[in-house]
Amino acid sequence: MILDAIVTFAIAIFLLVGAAFTLVGSYGLMKLPDAMTRLHAPTKVGTMGVGALLLASMTHAFVTQNGSFHELLVMGFLFVTAPISANFMSKVNIHLNNCDTTPDAPDDQQWCTLVQETHTDGAPADKSDTVQS
């Protein structure tokens, strides 16, 4: 009985934490000044926010019916795909010039995501004027 009450309070706290992180992430998406900093805030929604909500759901399932770890699949999927989609969106920002220009790469190297036709002084022919993305 006491244990049930403690677990129910734990579910409530997980829910509040998830809701707070969701709200903070979306507020940051609205508030932050430029495109690359705006990329930072919604990661809180994906990891902490939905993570805590799924933790609450999993705890609730363990209390009321046969519990399962199914929700960990969603959590793991979100954790794995969040950096990939963030990488793609930052590439979009770089290519559309919505952010500061990237610094020069060291030595003779080049950033692999950028257009390479700006180098006319003996750039390798097989890599010139292609957009590696």
Contacting residues toward other proteins, per CB under 8 A: 1, 4-6, 8-9, 11-13, 15-16, 18-20, 22-23, 25-27, 29-30, 35, 38-39, 42, 45-46, 49-50, 53-54, 56-57, 60-61, 64-65, 68, 70-71, 73-74, 77-78, 81, 84-85, 88-93, 95-96, 98, 131, 133
Judge whether 73 and 127 are in contact, CB under 8 Å: no
Please report, for the chain, how many H helices and E strands are present, in that order.
Answer: 5, 0
With respect to other proteins, which residue has the nearer C-beta, 1 or 125? 1
The helix-helix angle for 50-64 and 2-31 (nearest 10°) equals 160
